[in-house]
Amino acid sequence: MESLRLEQQKLDKKGNLSKTIGDVQKTIDLLTAAREAVAADGTAAAPTLAKVKRPLKASLDQVNSDIKEIYSAHKDYSKALDKKFKPQPIPASHHDALSSQPALTNRAIAMHLLREGQFDVAQTFLSELESRPKPARHDQDEDSLMQDGDNIEPSHTDFKIPGDMQSQFAHMYTVLDALRRHHNLDPAIQWARQHSHRLDQRGSNLEFDLCRLRFVELYCQDNDPNDYMSGPLKALEYARQTFPNFSARYMRETSSLLGSLAFAPALTSSPYKSVFYNNDAWEHAASSFIREFCAMQGLSEKSPLYTAATAGAIALPVLEKLERVMGEVGGQWTSVNELPVEIPLPQSYLFHSIFVCPVSKEQGTDANPPMMLPCGHVIAKESLEKISRGNKRFKCPYCPVEGHPKEARKVFL
């Protein structure tokens, strides 16, 4: 890696056009000066041209040698890259899980574009999919293709995106833009109020967080140094109108906010400083809004395509190594939906808990799922069958409670 870093430094120093641009400018200056001399005195044309010939050639040679240097710096860097990262096939390309599900893949791409606010690109993508010619099969001659009108290739367009998805996301971006760029809470508060009931059901704090921000905003507004109560009074009025709606769930927070009024003249040295001077609160509200907005549409907070692609990129080196090792030992993956190695992913990319039976130390599968015993301990189904010797009463391996296999329940992770 060190040698690559050195090459990178060399490329940064030599692989740019700044010197060449200077030398090209010198050539232009030479020619401009000659043209002006000729324009000023027509009779001087021949001697001027003769005089400029030699420096012009030298200047052009200089430009050429500049470019050579850049070219060689690029060549060296690309050689170093090739040496470090040997060209390798992308792992698992021969069992490409995506190719059998083009419609789902295309849906994920279209939805990703919509949720990123790339509406034009999404529309182009969808209309190009529609107008795409049906894929022809290469293993047939023309006659049989003509006889066989059925398209047995999986369809690329067999998916639906709810018709209002684009307008929903357009609305989301309007609200976010107001919130992030203009610190304008109105559209977000309006949205939260419209969905108040469902937000409450989800246990979301969004509506209250937005109203707290509004309280802080009013508090700090129009702070006339001669009339320190101007902002706080407005905040108090707002609190009187709004806080009763929240008092059941946010009693502590609302009374604490009202308590801040007592510190109005010296807020910065009060215990409320962190509430009032918190730059993260806006971004926090914005990401909470995205989360709740997507949840209302039945969508996850992050684009699944983004999550899958990022997790895939993180996993790539392990998969690559796995395939290489498997290739060397001639091994095969035994289970279809599982990888034989652990792929370390950050916590935020873990979605499915894995169960390992404490008795057999085996990982749970569809055929051997975790089972909860009447005492609450969980073991794998096969272990349960073993300790109950078919279908008899048994004692839990971890506590004295006895049970019958019938009383055990399958656990879904």
Interface contacts to Zn ion, rule CB under 5 A: 375, 377, 396, 398-399, 401
Residue (of 54, 65, 52) closest to 23 by Cα position = 65
Q: In whole angstroms, how close is the CB of 263 to Zn ion at the nearest point?
A: 54
How far is residue 130's CA from residue 329's CA, in Å, rounded to a whole number? 45
- CA 4 to CA 79: how far, in whole Å? 10
Closest separation in Å from C-beta 365 to Zn ion: 23
The answer to whether 368 and 382 have CB atoms below 8 angstroms apart is yes
Return the number of the residue (14 or 395) whose C-beta is nearest Zn ion.
395
DSSP H or E segment with residue 239: helix 230-259
* Helix residue ranges per DSSP H, 132-229: 142-147, 165-181, 186-194, 196-201, 206-220
- Which residue is listed with tokens 């209309």? 127
Q: How far apart are CA 212 and CA 189, in angstroms?
A: 11
Scanning the structure block, which residue is given the tokens 């939805």?
111
Please identify, using beta-carbon distances, which residue of 399 and 413 lies nearer to Zn ion: 399
Closer by beta carbon to Zn ion, 89 or else 400: 400
Amino acid at residue number 229? M
Only one residue has tokens 């052009």, namely: 60
User: Which residues are registered as beta bridge partners of 371?
Assistant: 379, 410
Nearer to Zn ion, 296 or 372 (CB): 372
For Zn ion, the closer of residues 14 and 386 by Cβ is: 386
Cβ of residue 326: shortest distance to Zn ion, in angstroms? 40
Closer residue to Zn ion in complex, CB, 282/398: 398
* Angle at 29 (CA atoms; ends 25, 31), nearest 5 degrees: 120
- In angstroms, what is the minimal distance from the CB of 373 to Zn ion? 5
Judged by beta carbon, residue 29 or residue 402, the one nearer Zn ion is 402
- HEC states along 58-127? HHHHHHHHHHHHHHHHHHHHHHHHHHHCCCCCCCCHHHCCCCCCHHHHHHHHHHHHHHCCCHHHHHHHHH
- Minimum Å gap between C-beta 363 and Zn ion is 21
Cβ at position 353, least distance to Zn ion in Å: 20
Residue 117 CB coordination number (10 Å): 16
Nearer to Zn ion, 56 or 396 (CB): 396
